[in-house]
Amino acid sequence: MTWEERWHPLRQEWVIVAAHRQHRPWSGNTLQEQAPRPPAYVSDCYLCPGNVRVSGQHNEHYKGVFVFDNDHPAVGPLAPRDLTPPVGLYRARPASGQARVVCYSPRHDVSLAELEIEEIVALLSTWQAEYRRLGAEPEVSHVLVFENRGEAVGVSNPHPHCQIYATNFVFRTIEVEVEASRRYRLETGRLLFQDIIAAEAQDGRRILVENESAIAFLPYFARYAYETYVAPKRTVPSIAELAPNELLDLAGALKHVLVCFDNLWKMPFPYVMALHQAPTDGGNYGAFHFHIEFHPPLRKPNLLKYLAGPEIGGGCFLSDTAPEEKALELRSAKGPHYRQAQP
């Protein structure tokens, strides 16, 4: 039984870990069973090669990674500039920036976990190029790369892809992490994420995989049951700083984690993945450590983690599981991927 509060040093908040709640009686709704594997090409998929998108544009007959401007952008260069001034103390500004879509593969039926290492490296190289190019735009203060995977997080199209929001502001979570990292170095002379890696290595129970230059672990302060961080060991502010050998190691760690996810319940494991990268507004972010965070919404195969009183009402997480136990589960689910394994 774990029943305690753990400090989240990046988010600067407490996480309540009450792992004895996991087995409490449950009589709520459950998610639907996952659909069978889709075909490799779907004629009405807006991401498959050669197909027409809602904008009327045709996708290229692409063979590898394919990037295009989002047809339904949340931020964009065409955002209206002549806003109606709001009443009283309220403020508004144009939602300028750029929204992009990145297809991982021309194949509709594969996931990031099932791509070959070289294909994942090609994707990471694309993320490097997009971060550099978008980040260099004068109006762009931050580049958020993220993937929503699965119906549990609102995505019905399984074609493997992620999105990029290049915005005129810095997302809140990054702002908090940047400030926590900066203050930690000021107060201790040390790097926050390096000390997190050191603590994880010292404990060892939550590490999923480690190679020469990359590491993956469920952090001590995880908020979601299977929350996982994948990071280079060297402190760099963004993925753009990584050398080819570091990209290769990062790809290996990513694949290892994703296969464990899918193998755990023999289903495409839903998650929100986000690259945590330094802002591109010209500031000094030497204390910030680029890393990738996975937030899977499920606690059990058909049971969502609901955000309720503590999370929505109070702004802090209550975790029903201990990351030590969940890491043990994931560690026992390593490769090969269940859909590729020979019977």
> Which of 53, 35, 66 is closest to 270 using CA atoms?
35
Q: Which is nearer to Zn ion, 61 or 93 (CB)?
A: 61
Catalytic residue list contains 276: no
Amino acid symbol at 244 = P
CB-neighbour burial class of residue 28 (10 A; exposed 0-12, middle 13-18, buried 19+) = exposed
Residue 303 lies near Zn ion (rule: CB under 5 A): no
Select from 12-20, 93-101, 153-161, 308-316 the region that touches Zn ion (CB under 5 A): 153-161
Among 6, 8, 108, 149, binds Zn ion (CB under 5 A): 108
* Alpha carbon distance 218, 193 (integer Å): 14
Asked if 101 interacts with Zn ion (CB under 5 A), we say no
d(CA 64, CA 85): 45
Is residue 174 close enough to count as binding Zn ion by CB under 5 A? Answer: no
Q: Give me the least distance between CB of 163 and Zn ion, in Å please.
A: 15
Q: By CB under 5 A, is residue 47 in contact with Zn ion? A: yes
Is 145 among the residues that bind Zn ion (CB under 5 A)? no
161 near Zn ion, rule: CB under 5 A: no
C-alpha 158 chain-centroid distance: 16
| Contact stretch for Zn ion (CB under 5 A) within 46-54, 191-199, 236-244, 249-257 | 46-54
Among 10, 17, 48, 180, binds Zn ion (CB under 5 A): 48
For residue 35, what are its two tokens? 């659909």
The residue with its CB nearest to Zn ion is 45
Q: Under a CB-based contact definition with an 8 Å cutoff, are residues 295 and 236 in contact?
A: no
| Peptide bond just before 244 cis, omega within 30 deg | no
Chain residues binding Zn ion by CB under 5 A are 42, 45, 47-48, 108, 159
As annotated, the active-site residues are: 161
